[in-house]
Amino acid sequence: MPSVGTAAVALFLLVIASTAGAQLSHKYYSTTCPGLQPLVRRIIDQALSQDPTLGAALLRLFFHDCFVNGCDASVLLDDTATFAGEKNAAPNMNSLRGFQVIDAIKSSVEAKCRQTVSCADILALAARDSVAALGGPYWAVYLGRRDSRTASQREAVANLPPPGASLSTMVSSFGAKGLAAWDTIALSGAHTIGQARCANFRQHIYNDTDVDPGFAGVRQLACPASGGDSITAPLDVQTPMVFDNDYYRNLVARKGLLHSDQQLFNGGQYDYLVSLYSTNQTAFFDDFATAMVKMGDMSPLTGSVGEIRTNCRRWN
């Protein structure tokens, strides 16, 4: 049984956590930047009509921002001669995309509401609108985050789970961010859209035993046992441009592309959730939307901490 001291500390931490979230609000810019949300949606729709693969890129940018010192747009800072940001951290280098869409949104937003809307909030809106534009759920985004004046390559490496991660590693790494195991399973459904590079799934299709042999064979044709590291394949073999529940159906059929994907359905504790989502898209959409709101609430900078960048690529 916890001592009174431990219980008091736990209560204190709970209060801190809930106050941080309480500072964000759906209506944060309703008087300072009315029309913000339709403007962002218009630019996302335009960008995706030219290149629908950008939707996946923008969703992932938000994840890679939030998991590294919170949702503070640290991932958007460019390296300089004296500063190594997160863009060139191993999980991000030659892999993150979509920065030009964030730039386009930021310059339109700046023209309308000068130095008012943070890059961190633009990332949150862009992720939500990308999911919705590709057929996925829609949720109200809490706003009011501010932008960091720093970034950490080391923290990016330490906090972003690698494609070879086990289920327990993923659950504990998400747990360290305040996300429950079911949030981990639901958020992984983001891999219903987008691509991965051969370097990241080679081990799985050549060496793992929990792979459908026909699927492994087809993937091996375009991902040689050595070389071709940057050749890509869809994370969802069925509908990589549609945000649906096919990701979970693939896992049940042992057609997950990454080792980490197939870990979610591998005789483990959460097979039942994968099975549920594979047959009930509404349950997946509801849980995904809830988990995205939770992820978006990770350690936001609020009040007078941080700043509102005028250019998302550098601090003011």
The catalytic residue positions are 64
Of 85 and 240, nearer to ligand HEM (C-beta) is 240
Pattern 195-214, ligand HEM, x by CB under 6 A:
xxx--x--------------
Q: Does 190 bind ligand HEM (CB under 6 A)?
A: yes
Q: Which among 98, 76, 88, 143 has a CA at the least distance from the CA of 116?
A: 143
Please state the closest distance from residue 184 (CB atom) to ligand HEM, in A: 6
Q: Tell me how many degrees the CA angle 296-186-37 measures, rounded to the nearest 5.
A: 40
Q: Which stretch binds ligand HEM (CB under 6 A): 42-50, 107-115, 142-150, 156-164?
A: 156-164
Q: Which stretch binds ligand HEM (CB under 6 A): 22-30, 56-64, 80-88, 275-283?
A: 56-64
Residue 194 — left, alpha, or beta (φ > 0 → left; ψ -120 to 50 → alpha)? Answer: left
Pattern 234-253, ligand HEM, x by CB under 6 A:
-x------------------
Locate tokens 């959730």: which residue?
273
Candidates 76, 156, 170, 301; binder of ligand HEM (CB under 6 A) is 170
Q: Does 177 bind ligand HEM (CB under 6 A)?
A: no
Q: Alpha helix (H) ranges present in 35-164?
A: 36-50, 54-66, 99-112, 119-133, 153-159
Calculate helix-pair angle for 198-207, 213-222, nearest 10 degrees: 140
How is the chain split among helix, strand and coil, in percent rounded to 5? Answer: 50, 5, 45
Q: Does 57 bind ligand HEM (CB under 6 A)?
A: yes
> Partners of 197 in the beta sheet?
232
What amino acid occupies position 62? F
Candidates 97, 112, 149, 314; binder of ligand HEM (CB under 6 A) is 97
| Residue partners of 40: CB distance under 8 A and separation at least 6 | 105, 109, 122, 125, 126, 129
Candidates 44, 56, 68, 167; binder of ligand HEM (CB under 6 A) is 56
Q: Does 178 bind ligand HEM (CB under 6 A)?
A: no
Candidates 33, 105, 117, 187; binder of ligand HEM (CB under 6 A) is 187
Q: Which stretch binds ligand HEM (CB under 6 A): 32-40, 101-109, 142-150, 193-201?
A: 193-201
Of 36 and 57, nearer to ligand HEM (C-beta) is 57
Total length of the chain: 316
Pairwise CA distance, residues 30 & 1, whole Å: 47
Please state the closest distance from residue 193 (CB atom) to ligand HEM, in A: 5
Instruction: Identify residues 278-297 at the interface with ligand HEM (CB under 6 A).
Output: none
Candidates 37, 69, 95, 148; binder of ligand HEM (CB under 6 A) is 95
Helix (H, G, I), strand (E, B) or coil at 83: strand
Are 160 and 68 contacting, i.e. CB atoms less than 8 angstroms apart?
Answer: yes
| Residue partners of 94: CB distance under 8 A and separation at least 6 | 197, 230
Q: Please give the size of the binding site for ligand HEM, defined by CB under 6 A.
A: 26
| Binding footprint of ligand HEM on the chain (CB under 6 A) | 53, 56-57, 59-60, 63, 95, 97, 161-163, 165, 170, 187-188, 190-191, 193-197, 200, 235, 258, 260
